[in-house]
Amino acid sequence: MIQDEFVFASHFEGEYETQWQAPSNIALVKYWGKHGEQLPRNPSLSFTLTKCVTTTSVNFSPKQGREMNFDFLFDKIKQPYFRPKIEQFLDRITPYFPVLAEHHLSISSHNSFPHSSGIASSASAMAALALCIVDFEKQHHPNWSEEALLQKSSFLARLGSGSAARSIAGPMMVWGESTAFLGSSDLYAIVPENEWHPIFQNFQDTVLIVDKGQKKVSSTLGHGIMNGHPFAAQRFEQANRNIAALKNALNTGDLDQFIDITEGEAMSLHALMMTSQPRFMLMQPQTVAIIQKIWDFRAESQLPLCFTLDAGANVHLLYPKQDCISVMDFIKNELCSFCQNGEYIEDQVGNGPQKM
């Protein structure tokens, strides 16, 4: 079904070139399970990151005859591996911006983090591409408000990858209808209007690289396992409860509550994978060892360090900026040895994409 309010048709000819940088994001309440055309089964909330970014430039030129729709360079090299995902994305979004069908897109992308770091790049990549396309669309639509731009960018990004809907602004975004967040929608992510406690400003996310390899479960398969999952109904209820409680923690600065929800969400995500048909075990022995170490460190130091996980073995360490020195010592002395080649990436909550 086409969402009419997002269709923008006009006749436009000429060339346009733009470049955007979009960050990755880390979900605290997880999106796991989808239906229809990229619609979430439950609301999710994420911190927008700063350093893990994709930079994408697009040159739009009028299509000549039977020319292909697009060409794609990753790190200046043709990468056939990414083509199907981009093709699917362009097919999905063209009804919302039919002018695209008359243009050839020369797309060139670069990630600030290595492709083989085990860090999912689909959120930042699809967000950067969506922003380039909406920037082009804006040239035909000069009176667009900031809010309309944000909505359309998130709406398009969602059609590329669900989590990309949440990489359109900072410092945090909510995607999926939730009674706790006014204006929230399944169609696009919003920046919640609430006041956030200053402790979350520049909140740190240090990503411990446990496994640089490719994900062992594709996101399509991963979300698919929620159809008919024995715990699906309870899980969607849990996410709704957690996002409301997390709003309170973010508002009041209650770090005990923040930790409880964030770690609980990571564990639920992995528990869902372990109890689905087929079953997946994406944690590795190092992941479990790191989690134990974090719990011991927290008990001893009383510092509010916690973790979250994506659909993979890497561990995201979350903590306030003011605890940087103690946590970095802990990482270097006790956690680094569990990382592949001792690698980790230091990132933090940020303000969202930038036009270059």
Residues 31, 163 contacting (CB under 8 angstroms) = yes
Residues 351, 226 contacting (CB under 8 angstroms) = no
| Residue 240 contacts ligand DP6 per CB under 6 A | no
Site for ligand DP6 in 115-134 (CB under 6 A): 120, 122
Shortest Å, Cβ 170 to ligand DP6: 16
Q: How many chain residues bind ligand DP6 (CB under 6 A)?
A: 17
Site for ligand DP6 in 313-342 (CB under 6 A): none
Largest CA distance in the chain: 68
Question: Considering beta carbons, is residue 32 or 155 the nearer one to ligand DP6?
Answer: 32
DSSP codes joined into one string, 157-215: HHHH-GGGGGSSSSSEEEES--TTSTT--SSSEE---S---GGGTT-EEEEE-S--SPP
- Classify each residue of 182-197 as buried b or exposed e, where b means 16 or more C-beta atoms within 10 Å of its C-beta: eebbbbbbbbbeeebe
Phi, psi of 118, deg, nearest 5: 80, 5
Site for ligand DP6 in 144-163 (CB under 6 A): 161-163
Of the candidates 311, 313, 327, 345, which one interacts with ligand DP6 according to CB under 6 A?
A: 311
Dist. CA 344–CA 307, nearest whole Å: 14
Shortest Å, Cβ 118 to ligand DP6: 12
Shortest Å, Cβ 25 to ligand DP6: 7
| Residue 143 contacts ligand DP6 per CB under 6 A | no
Only one of the segments 25-33, 202-210, 226-234, 334-342 lies at the binding site for ligand DP6 (rule: CB under 6 A); that segment is 25-33
| Residue 287 contacts ligand DP6 per CB under 6 A | no
Residues 264, 242 contacting (CB under 8 angstroms) = yes
Cα-based distances in Å from 138 to 39, 144, 174: 25, 7, 24
Of the candidates 189, 310, 340, 353, which one interacts with ligand DP6 according to CB under 6 A?
A: 310
Shortest Å, Cβ 144 to ligand DP6: 26
- Binding footprint of ligand DP6 on the chain (CB under 6 A): 27, 30-32, 38, 44, 120, 122, 161-163, 219-220, 223, 269, 310-311
